[in-house]
Every structure is written in structure tokens, then in C-alpha cells.
Structure 1
Amino acid sequence: MTDTLNRRDLLKGTALTVGAAALVRTALTPAPAVAQGALPAGTIHSFAKGEVTFHTYVSPAQAVNVTSHIVEFADQLMVVDATMLPPTAQEVSSLIVATGKPVSQAYISHEHPDHWGGAATIEGVTFATLPDIRSAIATEAAQGNFPEPVNVLNGPDLPIGLSEIGGVPVEFRHYTNTEAPHLIAAAFPDQKVIIVQDLVYNGVFFAPGVDRANWIATLEALRDDPVAETLLVGHGLPATRGELDTAIAYIRVMDEAMQAESPDAAAAQLRAAFPGYGGEFLLSLIPEYWN
């Protein structure tokens, strides 16, 4: 596979390691994870660049298509986020086990519970994050709406900057005041892939964010970043650089909508502008951000 992926390439998938093949199929007919109870199965979308394979687990629509990413190196894994619910987190655990490789690094990208609510279900994995993110998670967890994520609250701090995993350069970046107060992204310079999480949603309504002007400026800078050929996002399927323009356009519309006469009017404006989008639940968060 060449280093440049278009949207069709991402949906086709590529050859996978033997350990993952049982769960991960070509994403044109994406592999269902193991459905649990009344919640439908999520799907797994995978592609390889060089010696690194990227697996994106996408939760079902009922769980707002939130993602977790498993980055597979020659002899180890990196895990990004834990999804929101125990059933979806169990599917992430199953994918980890299917690779047959140990997790050497795992982290929670930001404080919003749809990304860490399932952490307690992923046994044997300790998640690093930043102190500010961990503090916000502790506050949210104390409300009792999700199983206490001890494997996050007792986890280490994630060093920001250039690192190396399995001989592959990985740059951990810290963005502030975008969709969340603090957000970690992981860039792979050699593969030209960046795990942006909730800096970008793909086909799902966005949360209103902290500072939409700064959020847009952050995405504009990424448009010229060589690493951003392929984006692994926080909600929805993997995407390409062009999705940054779509996200910028969405945030601009959302910023205008947030000036409407009411949260309901703002939600209606977003539905009208983006009729094909999912994640209706996320529009219900607008009152929490209303000035």
C-alpha cells in the first residue's frame, strides 16, 4: 500500500497480522465486533502503513460512533481511549486480545466520558494521560455515572513530545481549548497518520467545544502539516486531510448556531445544515454550553 490513502482505500482495508485476522476483515464489509445484550456490535476498520497497522474500533450509532484505536507494532500495541460503555469497551478488549500482543502504551485523549467511561472494563491495561485530564476525569467519575476508572486515575502522566514505540517515531501533542480543555493527539511522522480524536468528528454532530475560534485555528494549522494525510478521529470512520476542511466548515456553522435564540433553535440549525449526520445525542449537550 502506498503512503497516500484516499477514502476508498481506507474503507477497503489491507492484509493484517494473523492474530488480528479473526476479528478484523476488510472494512468495505467491516468486521462486526461481538455484540453484547441489546447494543449492536461496533465495527473495526484497519489499514497498514509500512510495518504499523492501525485498527479503529467504531462504536454503534447508539454510542455516538465513538472510537478507540489500537496501533499494532511488530511486537507491541498502543491503545487510544476506552469508549463509553462496558459492552463497547469489551469489544475493544477482544480486539486487543486477538492481536496476541502486549499493550506497552495506552492513554486517554481527553476528559469527556464517552472516551473513558469504559476504561474499567479493559482489564490489564493502565491508561496514561495528562494531570489536568486526570483531575477532570476524577471529578466526573465521582458522580457515579460510570464505573470508577482506577486504571486511569492511578495511571502515569503521558510525556508530551517525540517518543519511540517499537522503533517507530511517535509524537504526542497537547492541544488546549479546542473541543475539550485539554486534548492529546498522537502523530506518526513516517506513516503520515495522526490520531486527532475529538479535534475532528466524521459524519457525527460535534460537541460545541471550549473555544471555537482557537479550535478552527488548530485545524487550519493541521491542514499544512505533512503528518495529517490520514486522520483517526474521535467519532466515525478514519478520514483524510480533506476532512479538516469539513470540520472547519462545521465549527463555523456551529458557532453561528450558538447565537440562535435557544438551544433548540441551535440544534435545528445544525440538523438543517448537516442532514446526514448522526449522533443526535450530542445535540442534547448544547444547553450545557449555552451562554
Structure 2
Amino acid sequence: MNGTVTVLDKGAVRIHSYMSPADTFHATTQLIETPARVIAIDAQLVPAYADEAVAYARGLGKPLDRLIVTHAHPDHYNGAARFGVPVHALAQVREQIIARGDSRLPGGLVIPVADVTPTVDLVPGTEVIDGVRFVLEAVSGGEAADELLVKLPDQGVLVAQDLVYHDVHLYLGNNDIEGWERALDLLAAQTGFDTVLAGHGLPTGPEIYADVRRYLADARELLGDDGEAYKKAIVERHPSLVGPFIIDIANRSLFPTDQ
């Protein structure tokens, strides 16, 4: 396996957090194992890594029930078809995926949007699956225009996905630092959650909110009108973080040039 899996025992629930290698900036697929099934959250950028997550999930000996896509960034839905289950997402996320169209990987592989378009619209609220409460909340603004927050309150688990990065450079291409800070305020106000699952990086705890806030404050200070200068400065400010090439991807939106 190229990726790594972290297992967290939460009583009636076990969390299996699959993290891709650094070449796709440690993107995560969360596998929530309930007493009778497995629920997947997010689907990887590269189909090969989605295949690893699916193979691991199948190895748990319980049916893979559904895939939940939290937001409309390809590193979280490109591998959706590999799961072979209904794909759930907020209606606005579904529409954003359709609007993005086909996804083209650096090697030239094209992922047709028809293969990854969610088929089940999620409605914020509480759903009980195998006796486990899943609380779904819609969050607007931040790393993406719209994101889904998944909470397992009885297990103290908050599935933040790309509202939180852990030891990975942030993607700022949505150009909404203030929205992201508001989202972090929302997360920090949640009580009773000792486990936070990040969209990039290993599982962590609520202390991660201060780390992400610090990065955002540095980005606000360092962003100017030169993408290369910004990248150099933010990497120097955060030398221990992985995935500096995610900054290049974001810079295409932050610092567009005439082609």
C-alpha cells in the first residue's frame, strides 16, 4: 500500500483514516466502520489511491454502504466511481462538481464528470445508521465555496475534512481567508469532540484549529502580487509542512496571468 491507514477505536465505531502519499498532498478518505457497514467520506484525487482505500474497506468484512463527498475539489471526488456505491453530497456541491466538468490529471488521464457526479442529495440534519448518530452540517466559505461537516457526537469525532489541514500547506485558491477563519470559529465552538479528522494529514485534535488560524494569518500578511514570492515566504515561515506544490495549484487562481 502506498498510502497509510490510522485506526481509531471509538467503541461502537472504528475510524479507519486512509491518507494518500505526499504526491497528492496527503489527501484523506475516512472510513467509518459501524456495527454492520462501512461509510466512506471523500474519494481521493488519483484512482489508484481510491483503489487502495476501497480494497482496505472491503477487507473489513462489512459492506461498503455509501460514499459521501464533502466538497467540489477533485482531490476529494475523482476516485468516486471506484467505490461502486451511491455517492452522496450536498446539492450545491453536486452542482459545483458538474460545473467544473471533466477532471484532467497531470499525466493526462481524464476523469469524466459523469463518472463522479453525486446521485444522492444530502440534507443537513441527523441520520442514525446502525445506532450511530451522524450529524450533517453545511458550511459556506473557506477552503471551498461549500463544504459538508460530519459529526459523530457520541464518539467525539468531528470529520472536518478540508476545513482543517494537518502538517500540510493550505490550498488558498478559493481566495477566502476570512470565510475560512469564520469556519474555524464554528469548529472551535463545538464541544465534546476530542478527535478531528483532517482532509489532508493525520487525525488530530481541536488544537489544530490554532495551527490553521496561524497559517491563515501568515498568508494574509505575506500575500502580495507575486505568486512565487508568496510561495517562498510562506514555505520559509512553515518549513515543516509538506505539499508545497499545492501552493502552485492555488496560485493559478490567486495570481492569474494573461495567456
Alignment of 1:187-226 (within 5 A): 187-208=151-172, 209-226=174-191
TM-score by length of 1: 0.82
In structure 1, the residue matched to 2:102 is 142
In structure 2, the residue matched to 1:83 is 44
Alignment equivalent of 1:113, drawn from 57, 68, 74: 74
TM-score by length of 2: 0.91
Q: Which amino acid aligns with 1:165?
A: I
1:144 to partner: Cα distance: 4.8
Q: Does 2:176 correspond to 1:176?
A: no
Q: How many residues align?
A: 250
Q: Which amino acid aligns with 2:208?
A: E
1:211 to partner: Cα distance: 2.0
1:76-128: CA deviations, max 9, x gaps?
11110000001101101101110111123321010010111111222x21211
8 Å CA contact 1:72–1:78 kept in 2: the answer is: yes
8 Å CA contact 2:126–2:134 kept in 1: the answer is: yes
Q: Which amino acid aligns with 2:28?
A: T
Moved over 4 A (4+): none
8 Å CA contact 1:193–1:229 kept in 2: the answer is: yes
Give the SS at the match of 1:194: strand
2:171 and 2:115 mapped to 1: Cα distance?
A: 26
In structure 2, the residue matched to 1:37 is none
Higher share of residues assigned strand: 2
In structure 2, the residue matched to 1:74 is 35
In structure 2, the residue matched to 1:57 is 18
2:184 and 2:52 mapped to 1: Cα distance?
A: 31
In structure 2, the residue matched to 1:156 is 120
1:147 and 1:113 mapped to 2: Cα distance?
A: 9
In structure 2, the residue matched to 1:129 is 89
1:65 to partner: Cα distance: 0.5
Deviates more, 1:234-243 or 1:160-169: 160-169
1:215 and 1:288 mapped to 2: Cα distance?
A: 17
8 Å CA contact 1:134–1:152 kept in 2: the answer is: no
In structure 2, the residue matched to 1:242 is 207
In structure 1, the residue matched to 2:53 is 92
1:76 and 1:177 mapped to 2: Cα distance?
A: 32
2:252 and 2:221 mapped to 1: Cα distance?
A: 15
8 Å CA contact 1:205–1:278 kept in 2: the answer is: yes
Query: Is the alpha carbon distance of 1:153 and 1:261 closer, same or farther for their aligned partners in structure 2, counting shifts above 3 Å?
Result: closer
Give the SS at the match of 2:16: strand
8 Å CA contact 2:7–2:15 kept in 1: the answer is: yes
Where does structure 1 lack aligned partners over 5 or more consecutive residues? 1-32, 34-40
1:217 to partner: Cα distance: 2.0
Where does structure 2 lack aligned partners over 5 or more consecutive residues? none
Pairwise CA RMSD of aligned residues?
1.6
Q: Which amino acid aligns with 1:180?
A: A
